Amino acid sequence: MKDRKAVVTGIGIICAAGAGREALREALRKPAPLTADAGLRLPAGLVRNFDIREYIETEKGYLDRTSQLAFAGMSLALEDANLSREDVQKAEAGLFLGTAFGNHQTIALFFEDLLAKGPRFVKPILFPHAYSNTTISLLAMEYGLTGWHVNFASGGISGAAAILSAFDLIRTGRLDMALAGGVDSLTEMLVAGLQAEKLVSSNPCKPFDAARDGFNPGEACVVLVLEEGERARRRGARALADVLGAGLASMNKGQERSPAENAMYRAMESALASGGATPDMLVASANGSPLRDEAEWKAVAALAERMPGLNMTSLKPLFGETFGAEGPLQVAAAIECLGEGIVPPALNLERQLGAPPLPIVSETAKAPAGARALVNSFDDGGSAVSILLGKPS
Amino acid sequence: MRIVVTGMGVVSPAGCSVASFWKSVCEGRSCFRAISRFPVSDFQFTRAGEITDFQWPSDLGPAPEDWASRFVMAAAREAVHDAALAGMQGTGVVLATNFGGVGAASDFMAWALGRKDGNGGTFPELSFQIAADRVAQVWNFRGPRLVISLSCASGASAIAQAADLIRAGRARSVIAGGYDALSPFAWAGLSVLRTMSRDAVRPFDLRRDGTIFSEGAGVLAVEEMEFARARGAHIYAELLGYGMNNNAFHMTAPAKEGAGTAAVMRAALRDAGIGPSDIDHINAHGTGTKSNDVTETQAIKAVFGEHARRIPITSIKSSLGHMMGAAGSVEAIASLLTLRDGIIPPTINYEHPDPECDLDYVTNTARKADVRLVLSNSAGIGGCNTALIFKGAWR
């Protein structure tokens, strides 16, 4: 099995920073913490000024917000990669999408009717839009994508798992082009659930800080165009980054006795081993959650010797915790960082949670991005994905 | 790299073990009864394949509130024991579902709506990954862990995704399968899809009028062949190839002439490196709806040509019902047992031939057949299709 190269040739992003790559770059150049949303009454990474009509030409009688964001992400990705609907059909592009909470707004609307009016008076149109795979399947219909089709409902690693799967299929020669990403949307109901679980902070989140007390919820869709390197070169595509390696591992509650049993440690180790290189920068999954940040801190500390000269950051204060979109969003951000040559600071960090301190970029330091970036994604149930990216070779 | 199956587990309305399930579907016993888990007097449809004899295995610890998790944990337990994978901590877990924990999460939604009978504490069930976490926790499996959701192609897709992880070198053994449970939410939705029959599932019969949904889980132990051999595992069959795709046509209607189903079967044949004439049995998706059975028949004819008439085809949904996210994995297990025992379970309730469904269906009673290679089809809402091809281990 001869390994082939996978390159990123397009990024479609819609998030708290706005729509498109320029909005993302601007947020990375001038990082600012999320402000409190008036409706949710806490800092949140909501997508604002969003109009689905800018991204879709066909008629749609109904679309959940998650699906709407995905249409935007997909449209922006193809535009960025200079690919038409016909191009992706001809390339038999695979479609890989991840979502932690899927079309939960539609699930709730349908359920509300069921409780209020009874089962014979629910709205039939809502139910087919309530499936986790509704979003990916609507995208397949819209773009005529009859190829590989996988919807990951793997919590926080959903979108990262989509990228990892596409990467695996491209490098092993089973696919030449993939559209891979993640999406999740925020609703008052979701925020109420997160609050009931005491997961969110009412202040700007403080990743890796000793006084962290939860994350800021966010929403986003990010879709990447991944292509086999040679094929991308032949069509004259502009390569934004090489995907060098990826790792996927998991751990279980109460059963982690050493760093080597830590899922993030093993995911990072696997990404570094498969990529055959070390990163210059790291975009952490840390979001201000007491447990997640500590687990990631331990994992990075245990690998620190193998990542000399590393500059690390968390971008969660900028975009919020976007669940299934986390991995793809951080991959997109890392690619822009490599392109711009900067690592934005981890905002709101005053005192690191442990010693010796990790090389986390502070608000006063200027850190060079270098040539390679490692991106972590984590699900609080114990699964981790790590992806190693390089500047295009 | 070759992929094999070394263990199986079933929780179904036809029985809560592989042995009881297989006996029931081979005898063609219908599994439908009035739903008792929640009140159904307001529903248009009241009969389902509800599991009523399920006993929680106490060695799994406290039972989670969510029925879907309970089913998949119990099925995983049978598969892990069957494959002797306990202690193999690098094992991965890949599950698939339509509705995940929405049954338990409904209590959270009721709470969010301000109802007194709600329970905010079930919020974590909204993320489907929780079932895989629960399965992994029992045996401290620390390999790749994923949950995918591809409607009623889910169960088969979990097996394909597990095989992909092995092929990519990310795991050598994976516990893979599909699961779903009946709940008021799912039942209300499935009722309005207008795909259900009130009394019986009659796949390929002229008078078929819909499917009937069931619940449960089917779980397989999937391994890299050399790894399985080295540890002396019993090998049921080889997963020779598979395909996953999408119709890109309509959310709920099958593609014209089964184009997506035909394409996914061709993809599986290509992946397996075999020709159409090598297949000697098809375990069909066969939902018993007007449109599925005719388009699936058309797709089989398109792919297999003249050979299509020589392939015995069955749909165990006739007796078992449509187990939603578990359907594809339970039908994969039936396919493996056909390879093992040389018996094709029957498509029951077949009385009136449909001129548009004119292939060799194994009707009403089981048939002995020397099956070497079997193809199992799955499809689901959104236009998702998956096909799996298995080869008996001793061939």
pLDDT tens for B70-93 read: 999 999 999 999 999 999 999 999
Distance from CA of A390 to the nearest CA of B (A): 21
Spell out which residues of chain A touch residue B110, defining contact as CB-CB under 8 Å. 111, 115
Q: What kind and span of H or E run contains A95?
A: strand A94-98
A249 shares contact with chain B (CB less than 8 Å): yes
Digit-coded pLDDT (tens) for A254-301:
887 888 889 999 999 999 999 999 999 999 999 999 999 999 999 999
- In this prediction the pTM is 0.98
Digit-coded pLDDT (tens) for A10-24:
999 999 999 999 999
pLDDT at A377: 98
pLDDT at A1: 44
Q: Is the pLDDT of residue A355 over 90?
A: no
Residue of A nearest to B128 (CA): A153
Q: What average pLDDT does this structure show over B168-197?
A: 96
Nearest to A154 among B129, B248, B260 (CB): B129
Q: Is the pLDDT of residue B260 over 50?
A: yes
Digit-coded pLDDT (tens) for B202-258:
999 999 999 999 999 999 999 999 999 999 999 999 999 999 999 999 988 888 899
Predicted complex ipTM: 0.98
Q: What kind and span of H or E run contains A250?
A: strand A241-250
CA angle B69, A322, A191 (to 5 degrees): 70
Q: What average pLDDT does this structure show over B345-351?
A: 98
CA A288 to chain CA centroid, Å, is 17
Q: What average pLDDT does this structure show over B5-15?
A: 98
Is residue B136 within 8 Å of B145, Cβ to Cβ?
yes
B291 shares contact with chain A (CB less than 8 Å): no
CA angle A63, A64, A65 (to 5 degrees): 115
CA dist A153 and A143 (Å) reads 22
How many beta carbons lie within 10 A of that of residue B157, not counting itself? Answer: 33
Nearest alpha carbon to residue B125 among A102, A287, A68, A134: A102
Gyration radius from chain B CA atoms: 19
Burial tier of A356 (Cβ tally within 10 Å: 0-12, 13-18, 19+): exposed
Nearest alpha carbon to residue B6 among B67, B95, B79: B79
Spell out which residues of chain B touch residue A133, defining contact as CB-CB under 8 Å. 149-151, 380-382, 384
Spell out which residues of chain B touch residue A131, defining contact as CB-CB under 8 Å. 98, 149, 151, 381-382
Residue of A nearest to B112 (CA): A189
Going by pLDDT thresholds of 50, 70 and 90, the confidence category of residue A212 is: very high
pLDDT at A3: 64
* Residues A196, B120: C-beta atoms closer than 8 Å: yes
Selected residues 41-100 of chain B with any CB under 8 Å from a CB in chain A: 42-44, 92-93, 97-98, 100
Amino acid letter, B363: T
Helices (H), chain A: 21-29, 65-80, 85-90, 104-117, 134-143, 158-171, 188-196, 229-234, 263-275, 290-303, 316-319, 326-340
Spell out which residues of chain B touch residue A326, defining contact as CB-CB under 8 Å. none
Annotate chain B with three-state secondary structure: CCEEEEEEEEEECCECCHHHHHHHHHHCCCCCEECCCCCCCCCCCCEEECCCCCCCCHHHCCCCCCHHHHHHHHHHHHHHHHHCCCCCCCCEEEEEECCCCHHHHHHHHHHHCCCCCCCHHHHHHHCCHHHHHHHHHHHCCCCCEEEECECECHHHHHHHHHHHHHHCCCCCEEEEEEEECCCHHHHHHHHHCCCECCCCCCCCECCCCCECEECEEEEEEEEEHHHHHHCCCCCCEEEEEEEEEECCCCCCCCCHHHHHHHHHHHHHHHHHCCCHHHCCEEECCCCCCHHHHHHHHHHHHHHHHHHHHHCCEECCHHHHCECHHHHHHHHHHHHHHHHHHCEECCECCCCCEECCECCCECECCCEECCCCEEEEEEEECCCEEEEEEEEECCC
Q: Is the pLDDT of residue A321 over 70?
A: yes
CB pairs under 8 A between A and B: 224
Selected residues 119-138 of chain A with any CB under 8 Å from a CB in chain B: 119-120, 122, 124, 127-134, 136-138
CA dist A149 and A171 (Å) reads 17
Q: What average pLDDT does this structure show over A150-179?
A: 97
CA dist A17 and A27 (Å) reads 6
Q: Is the pLDDT of residue A61 over 60?
A: yes
Distance from CA of B185 to the nearest CA of A (A): 6
Residue of B nearest to A129 (CA): B251
Q: What average pLDDT does this structure show over A48-76?
A: 96
pLDDT at B395: 47
pLDDT at A216: 98
Is residue B67 within 8 Å of B181, Cβ to Cβ?
yes
CA dist B308 and B97 (Å) reads 31
Selected residues 12-51 of chain A with any CB under 8 Å from a CB in chain B: none
Spell out which residues of chain B touch residue A291, defining contact as CB-CB under 8 Å. none
How many beta carbons lie within 10 A of that of residue A345, not counting itself? Answer: 21
B120 shares contact with chain A (CB less than 8 Å): yes
Nearest to B98 among A131, A145, A158 (CB): A131
Q: Is the pLDDT of residue A351 over 90?
A: yes
Mean pLDDT score of chain A: 96
Distance from CA of B40 to the nearest CA of A (A): 9
Mean pLDDT score of chain B: 97
pLDDT at B394: 64
* Residues A128, B251: C-beta atoms closer than 8 Å: yes
Q: What average pLDDT does this structure show over B187-210?
A: 96
CA dist A295 and A297 (Å) reads 5
Tokens for B176, please give them. 């893979």
Spell out which residues of chain B touch residue A104, defining contact as CB-CB under 8 Å. 126
Amino acid letter, A284: A
Nearest alpha carbon to residue A326 among A261, A383, A390, A256: A383
Q: What average pLDDT does this structure show over A223-236?
A: 97
Chosen for mutation from A250, A251, A385, A387 (greatest number of chain B CBs closer than 10 Å) is: A250
Digit-coded pLDDT (tens) for B265-317:
999 999 999 999 999 999 999 999 999 999 999 999 999 999 999 999 999 99
Is residue B97 within 8 Å of B149, Cβ to Cβ?
yes
Chosen for mutation from A131, A198, A251, A253 (greatest number of chain B CBs closer than 10 Å) is: A131
Q: Is the peptide bond prior to B62 cis by the omega test (within 30 degrees of 0)?
A: no
Selected residues 281-340 of chain A with any CB under 8 Å from a CB in chain B: none
Residue of B nearest to A157 (CA): B146
CA dist A386 and B368 (Å) reads 50
pLDDT at A2: 54
Going by pLDDT thresholds of 50, 70 and 90, the confidence category of residue A356 is: confident
CA B186 to chain CA centroid, Å, is 17
Q: What average pLDDT does this structure show over B153-158?
A: 98
Distance from CA of A85 to the nearest CA of B (A): 13
